[in-house]
Amino acid sequence: MNRPGAILLAGAALLSACQAPVAAESIVRAPIAEVKASETGKQTAIFAGGCFWGIEGVFSHVKGVSSAVSGYHGDTSRVADYQSVSSGKTRHAEAVRVRYDPSVIRYDQLLRIFFSVGADPTQLDRQGPDHGSQYRSALVPTTAEQAKVAKAYLDQIGKSGLWKAPIVTRIESYRGFFPAETYHQDFMLNNPRNAYIERWDAPKVAGLKALYPVVYKAEFTRD
């Protein structure tokens, strides 16, 4: 993969965060959640869905999202760095911490967006061209309400028939979130011509705009 200068400056010893793309995943209009989230005040949720560049990019274009930060979830801070996680030898997954206003966008609506354009829930320990447990798809609720809604939605999409293979996305208990290195933040915004972004992640944002124009915003939420 042709990496931008920022990554090259980070050190030649680092592995690529996201492997060379093959083709963008198909976009699926996931069902409207039967169980709606009941939330008040600003909320935080964590999503793991393969390479964090694309997941961050999608949520950064959603109205009501005030922050989308790429990082690591699943292990300790001691191993929460790019090189360790990319090796696949930690329990971390690349993940994105999303802060949002439920009066504008609810958690169940974020779940619908995530499975429509962000991650394929049938791929185990991989997403598209990226292989390994660090690229697993997982929901990390930070409240009991989110946990309830996440479980109900996974059950619902499993019965929907939209995906032919079994749903393997996991619900994981919160174990702390550790922001990734600076050059990973706002990566799609800062590197729109990166080969991986163009072939893999830009179609996700295009899918968001096409499927859910009411919640799509053109500007990118910076962190």
Catalytic residues: 51
Are the beta carbons of 181 and 82 closer than 8 angstroms? yes
CA distances from 129 to 23, 81, 164 (A): 8, 21, 20
Task: Give me the sign of the Cα torsion angle 20, 23, 27, 30.
Answer: negative
Burial group, residue 165, by CB count within 10 angstroms (0-12, 13-18, 19+): exposed
Exposure letters 207-222 (e unless 16+ CB within 10 A, then b): bbeebbeebbeeebbe
Amino acid identity for residue 194 in this structure? N
